[in-house]
Amino acid sequence: MPGDLKEECGIAAVYLKKPLEEYSAGGASYFLYKMLLQLQHRGQLSAGITTYNNKRPQLINTYKKLGSVNEVFKIKRKDQALWVLNKYAGTAGIGHVRYATSGSEEEALAHPFERHHGRKWKWFAFAMNGNIANYAKLKKELQKKDYHLPRNSDTELVLHYLVKEFVGSKRIPLEKVFGNISKKFDGSYNIAYIDAEGTIAVLRDPYGFRPLSYAEDDEKILIASESSALLNLSLNGFKDVKPGEILIIKNGKLRIKRFSEQRKCSHCMFEWVYFANPSSILDGTSVYQARYNLGRELAKKEFLSNQDSELIVVGVPDTAKPMADAYAHHTGIPLMEGLLRNRYIGRTFIEGQSRAERVREKFLLNKPILKGKKVILIEDSMVRGTTSKELIKYIRESGEAKEVHLRSASPPIMSPCFYGIDMSTVTELIAAKNTAKKIRERTPIKEVTAETLEKIRKEIDADSVMYQSIEGLVNAINKEKKQDLCLACLNGVYPTPEGKKLRKKALASFVCGAEKRTYE
């Protein structure tokens, strides 16, 4: 699903059990770089780390910049890269890669956020992955108490609530600190925290919207948003952090505490469909296998005949590759590489590029494969439809394909997300805006009608459109854990109170033509 949806943020943490001198250059900064590199798919806007080193006056020190992980760590120049690693060398640290679901694209909003204080246990930094759904409400409450919040960011909100927990001279256990603020927050929030005593705390919100894994061996403790970031750094395997749990590491010891009662598990289905690395295993389910299964389930619905010799299957690289593999295998229609991804196109700040230009930069057509063929184009999902439209036009006009049939391995996105995915209005969702009346009338939402599919087909100029079913999605991920998935963007059933309120607000905004993000 190229360009239609933005990745989530990623967090990481490391605690070294031995003296700094026994590790590679940088110690904690080196391991954070390695983990963030494997989380790069979750955010390319900025990267940052905070490390602890009791041998320097700046006990915890934060380094963050706009750009990719390799750009921030200056990997193109060995001397500069070593300078970064050694300047921020430490025995413990946290890291973050960011895509902005709220706030603007500026360096001040890059994570981690650091708060200085004279007392070491009150001097801390933290990074977050998620979205506080009741941000607007909590911001107003703080402003009534004469707080000033200049940034349009829920991370700033979390910072203020943490500071409030440290008022006074009595130290509160970290599990209680985060337990107290969790009572205020509605939404998704995985947090990595470090203080100037070298204590690390990493937590997963009570609903478990976003994944979180950890690994421990004789030399270190590693924590990251995905297991793929741990696989090459620890020989002892990994475990999942359970919703409502906090990992506290102090004096070389890892303790797992419960900071909040676990709510109804609501793992975001998009983690398996799109966000996560295919080599990751999230809450016991392989991402690659889930994507392969999605292709198999999609094949069961196909109505085009595999006896048509002009039909070929083309997957949109890279996420849809296992889906296209399975789809072709189970339909018997040949799989061809009609689209090739240009892997050397980095993030661009050139203004004025049209979506058509971005599609042509990102993908190269294999014209001899496409010319004169009836292309079944496999996408992992279709959210806004604008990129799909340009891709279909590109294949039809430049590739000279005879027909282009779009197949989405995800069901239609019928409702906004308020838990960290950048799609918070009805207007921007191609399936939702074409089914708006029915959305208002019924919950949960069932599959789109033939009338809606025809509207979508015309809008993106495809010869036909077919979506995955919700049942097929659940079967592909893990049908035994249907109750543990958040499907709110598919069926309009939100797991949190604020989500339910924001859905009504989003629908009302759609009716009156408002386009700003619902939670702002």
DSSP secondary structure string for all residues of 345-386? ------TT--HHHHHHHHEEE-HHHHTT-EEEEEES--SSSH
Q: Are strands 311-315 and 374-379 parallel, antiparallel or unpaired?
A: parallel
Closest CA to 94 of 9, 164, 153, 179: 9
In one-letter notation, the amino acid at residue 200 is I
Q: How many residues are recorded in the chain?
A: 520
Our CA angle for 126, 132, 138, nearest 5°, is: 100
> Which residue carries 């690994």 as its tokens?
215
Six-digit token pair at 261? 């009662």
Closest CA to 336 of 349, 325, 350, 351: 325
Give the integer Cα–Cα distance in Å for 48 and 32. Answer: 9
Rounded to a whole number, what is the distance in angstroms from the first to the last CA of the chain? 26
Catalytic residues: 9
In one-letter notation, the amino acid at residue 224 is A
| Residue 404 main-chain phi, psi, to 5 deg | -135, 120
In one-letter notation, the amino acid at residue 276 is A
Q: 152 near 103, Cβ under 8 Å?
A: yes
